[in-house]
Amino acid sequence: MTGAMAASTALAGSAALLAGLGLLYAAWARPARGRWPVLAGWMAALVGAVLWGLADGGDRGVAVGVVVFVALALAVLLWRRRRGPVAAVRAGSAGRAAPTVPTAPTATTGAGQAGLGRRIGVGLLVGPGAGLAAVALVLALFGALDRAGAHVTAAIVAGYVVLPLLWAGLAVWALMAPGLARKVAVVAGPGALGAGLFWLLV
């Protein structure tokens, strides 16, 4: 593949990754739309990773595509973080005047601490928790490939490619799940399944 063609393919891959990210963000912002935006978003992300693989040579290109996807997702989250509270304040202030008497901070201290603790717990769940579950699934994949007679190098490369995709997928799925119990089940279920399969295969 020539340099110009590789650059065009990488650009198309980045566009597909951005489109997939947009669909996933829309599905997260409006859960009532159902599962189709989620499926379409991950399919677009998969197409983007494949295009990056074609542009930059197999597993290396796919890895670069995953890094690009993570960087785009981080940029969107930072943008939403900066825009969200400001937009909420502006929307609230447009409809009513500011109260003249401040509310007592002690009345909401307990609820605020509980909300902060829940956000920290969810962050740990979709971060390290989803990562450990993805590692368990990749270990199961490694065991299955080893049983099938695949070369060790091929199994390791497959694990490197699949791990970030599984991690991101479990994290997004857990964030979209309603309720803390469902979020825990989304992460713990696949993790336990992967660990069990790995134990049976090795």
Residue 121 to residue 180: CA distance in whole angstroms: 9
What percent of the chain clears pLDDT 90, i.e. is strictly above it? 1
pLDDT for position 88: 47
CA 185, 186, 189, 191 torsion: positive or negative?
negative
Q: Domain boundaries in the chain? A: 1-76, 121-202
Average pLDDT, the chain: 76
Greater confidence (200 vs 123) lies with 200
- Between 19 and 102, residue with greater pLDDT: 19
pLDDT confidence of 93, banded at 50, 70, 90?
A: very low
Higher pLDDT, 80 or 20: 20
**What amino acid is encoded at 31 in this protein?**
P
Alpha helices in the chain (DSSP H): 3-29, 36-56, 58-95, 109-124, 130-147, 152-176, 180-201
pLDDT exceeds 60 at position 86 = no
Q: What percent of the chain has pLDDT over 70?
A: 78
User: Would you say residue 20 has pLDDT above 60?
Assistant: yes
Predicted local distance difference test score (pLDDT) of residue 193: 92
The reported pLDDT for the residue numbered 87 is 47
* End-to-end Cα separation, the chain, in angstroms: 41
Determine if the pTM surpasses 0.85.
Answer: no
Q: Is 65 exposed, middle or buried (0-12, 13-18, 19+ CB in 10 A)?
A: buried
